[in-house]
Amino acid sequence: MHTVGDSRYNHWFDGLALLHSFTIRDGEVYYRSKYLKSDTYNANVEANRIVVSEFGTMAYPDPCKNIFSKAFSYLSHTIPDFTDNCLINIMRCGEDFYATTETNYMRRINPQTLETLEKVDYRKYVAINLATAHPHYDEAGNVLNMGTSIVDKGRTKYVIFKIPATVPEANRKGKSPLKHTEVFCSIPSRSLLSPSYYHSFGVTQNYVVFLEQPFRLDILKMATAYMRGVSWASCMAFHREDKTHIHIIDQRTRKPVPTRFYTDAMVVFHHVNAYEEGGCIVFDVITYKDSSLYDLFYLANLNQDFEENSRLTSVPTLRRFAVPLHVDGNAEVGTNLIKVASTTATALKERDDQVYCQPELLLEGLELPQINYTHNGKPYRYVFAAGVQWSPIPTQILKYDTLTKSSLRWGEESCWPAEPLFVPAPGAKDEDDGVILSAIVSTDPQKLPFLLILDAKSFTELARASLAVEMHLDLHGLFIPDADGAARNQATSETEQAPASGCQGPHRPDGAGGLGLP
Ligand SMILES: CC1=C(/C=C/C(C)=C/C=C/C(C)=C/C=O)C(C)(C)CCC1
Ligand SMILES: [Fe+2]
């Protein structure tokens, strides 16, 4: 929702979060969508205008916008409370599911009914002000995530933390696993007042990969943003003259590897995967040459002259990096320390404790990467992603084979696909044994939006479920296997969700509607 009353957000990442879900059951697809009833949503609806600041829009709780009242409010809110409008991803934590964003807040949701449940403040469990919306999960379902702790006790640091999937019975007493969150490792920020912005990180079986990129938050600007009436987005800057520092954390010692690994300035939002091979860490990321992607999502650009205004100035590119775990003391300066066959990425020894990494370019024009998650942190072959050409809006979905360097694509006239989720087939043997799910919206008013199901091996269409609803392009999602559907029967007994074959009529964002598979 990009307007509230007469007020309008500036940026696509600001809109009030709309959750949607597809339930695939007994050969039918059920659809529902609901606004996340965050405190932000409720406060805005009550005031009938935007009163909580988002990424690209600074808002004021009181309508009196003169400089004195702003200065007064500033004194009481050095950095105003961040939003709980969790619009980026869904995270699983034990039996619980959360809508997430990048602030210190998450909202628990009921994945069956899409109801909004309690607000969780990460700060109650771990000292962080920001956290990623892209956690990792180990085989037992424990969550590994990262956040930034800003000027806490005179230090700014990146904190890696773990939330257990389950809590021993004796300690449970109705407590959420979040109460058992533990700090895994902290990495001091290179700068107290300008920590890096990051959207995700990588893991291998024994290491964590964190890119401290020169796309940074300016804390002094953030502290005065409210008073100056500027958005959080304006407090972020890309420093093209700087380097990107590659931190490798050993999960066994919980300490960073002391060698200084670095590469040229770049911006990464999404890590694809990482793994260990032949004494090094290989990691794949979608890179940009600068931070201009965020500028393209200003709604002013997305509305008029869309094609012209939103032309990508920096193309998202899949690149493979390789980092040596041991620097050979006898190797001469300038030696490439990477000896694995799977990449042409290089890591040049500059000193015994300093290595300069240069990536291998794998593929241009892709975003929202996904993999078969059973290969997370391990050697893998396939990347599934949205294909982007001239604009940040995806027009295709693709499967890229990192071994043969070839790709398969799905696309259809006037269709905009969302992130492709890979779901393994029961008893799958091959990495690509399974299906791809993607929610597709269309720019052609005659064409209904649909859930697309592709065979992940051949990338051919298995089925589509067209829906007579108003659907919106989404960002990230999560597949929840049926085994988890303890609340399923409860949801079935509710009236709201129905297999709406032939269901026409207006779609209410709070209601449900859908059409069965053709
Ligand atoms: C509100 C807020 C933030 C929000 C960031 C958001 C909402 C980022 C969305 C990123 C996406 C969707 C990236 C896709 O690749 C910051 C800057 C962390 C810090 C200040 C408060
Ligand atoms: Fe993301």
Structure confidence at residue 514 (pLDDT): 34
Q: Which has the minimum average pLDDT: 163-177, 230-244, 467-481?
A: 163-177
Give the residue whose CA is nearest to atom 2 of ligand 1.
Answer: 55
- Ranked by mean pLDDT, which of 21-35, 67-81, 164-178 comes out on top? 21-35
Residues with CB under 6 A from ligand 1: 13, 54-55, 82-83, 88, 101-103, 130, 199, 232, 269, 475
* Residue 286: partners with Cβ closer than 8 Å, 6 or more residues away: 268, 269, 270, 272, 316, 317, 318, 319, 366, 367, 369, 385
Question: What values do phi and psi take at 338, rounded to 5?
Answer: -95, 120
CB atoms within 10 A of CB 124: 10
Helix or strand holding residue 148 (H, E): strand 143-152
Task: State the sign of the Cα–Cα–Cα–Cα dihedral 213, 217, 219, 220.
Answer: positive
Q: Tell me: the pLDDT tens digits for 110-151?
A: 999 999 999 999 999 999 999 999 999 999 999 999 999 999
Please give the distance, rounded to the nearest whole angstrom, from the Cα atom of residue 268 to the centre of ligand 1: 13
Please give the distance, rounded to the nearest whole angstrom, from the Cα atom of residue 88 to the centre of ligand 2: 7
- Between CA 275 and CA 148 the distance in angstroms is 24
Please give the distance, rounded to the nearest whole angstrom, from the Cα atom of residue 517 to the centre of ligand 1: 36
Give the residue whose CA is nearest to atom 10 of ligand 1.
Answer: 13
**pLDDT tier, 447 (very low <50, low <70, confident <90, very high otherwise):** very high
Output the six-digit token pair for 89.
Answer: 């991803």
Ligand that lies nearest to the alpha carbon of residue 90, given by its number in the listed order: 2
416 conformational bin, left if phi > 0, alpha if psi -120 to 50, beta if neither: beta
Q: The complex's ipTM?
A: 0.94
Structure confidence at residue 78 (pLDDT): 56
Output the six-digit token pair for 422.
Answer: 């890979």
- Between CA 245 and CA 247 the distance in angstroms is 6
Structure confidence at residue 314 (pLDDT): 85
User: Ligand 1: which of 50, 55, 219, 272 to mutate, judged by most atoms within 8 Å of the beta carbon?
Assistant: 55
Q: Which whole number is the average pLDDT over 174-198? A: 93
Q: Which has the minimum average pLDDT: 14-18, 39-43, 479-483, 484-488?
A: 484-488
Q: How far is residue 351 from each of residues 246, 247, 480, measured CA to CA in Å?
A: 16, 17, 48
Helix or strand holding residue 90 (H, E): strand 89-93
Structure confidence at residue 60 (pLDDT): 84
In the chain, the percentage of residues whose pLDDT exceeds 70 is 86
**Nearest of 143, 214, 153 to residue 177 by alpha carbon:** 143
Please give the distance, rounded to the nearest whole angstrom, from the Cα atom of residue 199 to the centre of ligand 2: 6
Structure confidence at residue 171 (pLDDT): 66
Q: Higher confidence at residue 452 or residue 517?
A: 452
0.80 surpassed by pTM: yes
